Structure 1
């Protein structure tokens, strides 16, 4: 499976929410960059507080208050170590975010998401981590972080960049550097962590650059999709 097919797979799994509200508000703007279908239903003035029903196709996944969902959507979005400990409704919120395509995200927003995946790798301290930086300049901005990650943990880190004149500066680092002319390396920003074989710790981000500072992609904690991403970059 290629990185492109990872995105195509995510696109086929559109999630939907039904928002029950008393009056129009900006709720939908929180999903403006995601492949989520939103349906609105009006509540009577004396009815319950606004709430959201989460569906995956025709399947009901759970219901949470609108305020709870807003809290979950505030960055950084972090997944608990064990989703099984959450109630079905709260788990549905995380599954709504998981494997959901986003669009038109900027580099600073992707950096915030990358920090969460890197933090997970730090906590596990073992396993294999593939990171696509597109360019040496992009890696240089994170060089100290990845050097420390490689020196302090037992993670096998693989850095992917496209050929450039200054790739000699990558020699001697305590990690594996892949200098590739492959189109995927130049087009995609990706982080794939195998969780040291623990399905609960696996995570991946795959984003295709479609403009000078615009990306389209997905992040996921789904073990099978992470495994497919790992196969695509290994």
Structure 2
């Protein structure tokens, strides 16, 4: 029988987004911004293009899938969320949980498989996963009930990352059932009212998951699944498919 890490990898491998691209429309920002956006998605299955479109607002980003526009965001919001910041914004301050910081052209890239590198190989790629983690946590906080599960590799990240700890404090004060998972290298204080799960198998060491299963089926389910494939190198995706989210929930319950 497949172990937890293998089952999570299967979730990632079955993701298959359609052909899609991010198109910057009527850009007035300087060239380095366009290059930075292109660099952020370099080597990914998302093309970055540019177009001038009459009777359309300047400095907009469109997510185009199979020839149709499925989401739009201001270039400024994309810059603020994942171009002109680093992951410390989300780790050191709770502001990253606010959903306004997650532009829809990024959050709607669900079912896209990303292969990402962290610092120092890349200063921006891994930030996409951090942004989506906060987006899912923000959705759970807004709803306030259901189940949220998150794997941290090491529980000590709740101790060293003040912004992350503050996010989970806020989550624990709702009616959510909050579960955190990681290698047992730090004692989660009783004041942080979460259910702690500790272990040392590959699922604990290699996975980065944030799963929200709401209390009502009509509310959007969400889950991020990523696996470390090398030193600070990741393959991952996120999904809003309720059936897939429930499968991820089962893997975390049964395999951790």
Q: Provide TM-score, normalisation by structure 2.
A: 0.63
Gaps of 5+ in 2: 1-5, 83-97, 120-125
Report if the CA contact (8 A) 2:17-2:110 is conserved.
Answer: no
Q: Is residue 154 from structure 1 mapped to residue 175 from structure 2 by the alignment?
A: yes
CA distance in 1, matches of 2:81, 2:170: 22
Q: Is residue 202 from structure 1 mapped to residue 221 from structure 2 by the alignment?
A: yes
1:94-105 paired onto structure 2 within 5 Å? 97-105=109-117
Report if the CA contact (8 A) 1:99-1:218 is conserved.
Answer: yes
Q: Is residue 175 from structure 1 mapped to residue 194 from structure 2 by the alignment?
A: yes
Report if the CA contact (8 A) 2:22-2:46 is conserved.
Answer: no
Report if the CA contact (8 A) 1:130-1:193 is conserved.
Answer: yes
The Cα shift of 1:9 comes to 1.5
Report if the CA contact (8 A) 1:159-1:176 is conserved.
Answer: yes
The Cα shift of 1:2 comes to 1.9
Q: Is residue 2 from structure 1 mapped to residue 23 from structure 2 by the alignment?
A: no
The Cα shift of 1:135 comes to 0.7
Q: Is residue 126 from structure 1 mapped to residue 145 from structure 2 by the alignment?
A: yes
Q: Secondary structure at the match of 2:193?
A: coil
Partner of 2:92 in structure 1?
none
Report if the CA contact (8 A) 2:206-2:228 is conserved.
Answer: yes
The 1:112/1:55 distance shift into structure 2, 3 A limit, reads closer
Partner of 1:86 in structure 2?
none
Partner of 1:88 in structure 2?
none
CA distance in 2, matches of 1:79, 1:15: 26
Query: RMSD across aligned C-alpha pairs, in angstroms?
Result: 3.9
CA distance in 2, matches of 1:96, 1:146: 24
Which has the higher Rg, Structure 1 or Structure 2? 1
Report if the CA contact (8 A) 1:14-1:35 is conserved.
Answer: no
The Cα shift of 1:191 comes to 0.4
* Aligned length, in residue pairs: 210
Report if the CA contact (8 A) 1:34-1:100 is conserved.
Answer: no
Report if the CA contact (8 A) 1:76-1:116 is conserved.
Answer: no
Partner of 1:190 in structure 2?
209
The 1:28/1:14 distance shift into structure 2, 3 A limit, reads farther
Partner of 1:84 in structure 2?
none
Q: Is residue 36 from structure 1 mapped to residue 46 from structure 2 by the alignment?
A: yes
Query: What per-residue deviation string (whole Å, max 9, x for no partner) do you get for residues 13-49 of structure 1?
Result: 3433396999x964643532632256x7998xxx858
Q: Secondary structure at the match of 2:64?
A: strand
Query: What per-residue deviation string (whole Å, max 9, x for no partner) do you get for residues 198-219 of structure 1?
Result: 4433211112123433322112
The 1:136/1:71 distance shift into structure 2, 3 A limit, reads same
